Amino acid sequence: MNIGFIKLDKLAGIEKFYKKLFKIIRIQNNTYYIPDINEKIISKLIQKLKQDNIEYIISEKGVDIEYNRLDGKYLLKCAIPEVVKYCYNALNKNEELEEIYILAQNYTKENIRIIESLLDKVKVVNIVTNHLRGFQELEKRLERNEIYITVSSNKRKALKRAELIINLDYNNFNGFNVNKNSIIINCNKEFKLNKDFEGICIENIDIEISKIMRIFSENENMNKKELFEAELLKQKDLDESRYILEKSKMKITELIGKRGKIGLSEFEKIKRSNEETIIEKH
């Protein structure tokens, strides 16, 4: 993935006047140094970014450019084990005693690795999919190592009692009978919630990183979270991204939904609602 870094060039005097007048943009290792932020220079920069097939940008604070930005979804995918732990801590539950449900439509290497990263974190992993054949092969492979998961395509029953759902690539819950008080970790930016859903839908996370990283020191006036996601995307696969994340001493500070930050009171509400449902059924 091509990511461009946008910085104001540190110029003075005649050099600044000359580069600003002729709209000269200096490029070095995917870093674009601009002499000013006036409309004509920004227009030329955008044109140059497109020519260079730059998919996303990270810019210095104060340099506002209408161009694709990293949306945090890859960071969320890489941090799923940490997000699951955060959720169960918020519910005052031990994740090792709980079962989770993973919606995975596509049998991809990345989806498989995300599933595998959770196998030793929770009691039971349930996969809900239309791609039964592929994930049943995964189920059999894991069984040979005495690791057990369940695979289902039953839309009516699979998510009916689910407390925590990880949506990897489904666009909607059409046809599913979903616990309306569940917690969803949504990794798909195209996903649309049902209108009657009353639970928590996690779209993003805020983080702190205590480790000193080269990408931070080279881009001091940029958003650390965007820089960290860019560093994860530079890796060749999810395993390498997870390695960087684990070594970074990353800490989740907030969960973010469509309406902003998700407070602990929302988890308490979910816990009460699900407990009341269980009591009613008995």
Instruction: Return the percentage of the chain with pLDDT > 90, whole number.
Output: 87
For residues 107 and 168, the answer to whether their CB atoms sit within 8 Å is: no
Mean pLDDT of all residues belonging to the chain: 94
pTM recorded for the entire structure: 0.93
The residue with tokens 């009591």 is 279
Kindly write down the DSSP assignment for every residue of 211-234, as one continuous string.
S--HHHHHSTTS-HHHHHHHHHHT
pLDDT tens per residue, range 3-36: 999 999 988 888 888 888 889 999 999 999 999 9
Kindly tell me if the per-residue pLDDT of 282 is higher than 80: no
The predicted pLDDT at position 281 comes to 54
pLDDT tens per residue, range 153-211: 999 999 999 999 999 999 999 999 999 999 999 999 999 998 899 999 999 999 999 89
User: Would you place residue 277 in the very low, low, confident or very high pLDDT band (cuts 50, 70, 90)?
Assistant: low
pLDDT tens per residue, range 199-248: 999 999 999 998 989 999 999 999 999 999 999 999 999 999 999 999 99
| DSSP 8-state secondary structure symbol assigned to residue 95 | G
Nearest of 68, 62, 22 to residue 46 by alpha carbon? 68
CA distance 70 to 60: 14
Structure tokens at 207: 């983080």
Instruction: Return the percentage of the chain with pLDDT > 70, whole number.
Output: 98
CA angle 90/93/94 to nearest 5° reads 120
Structure tokens at 152: 């289902």
Residue type, 235: Q
Kindly tell me if the per-residue pLDDT of 278 is higher than 60: no
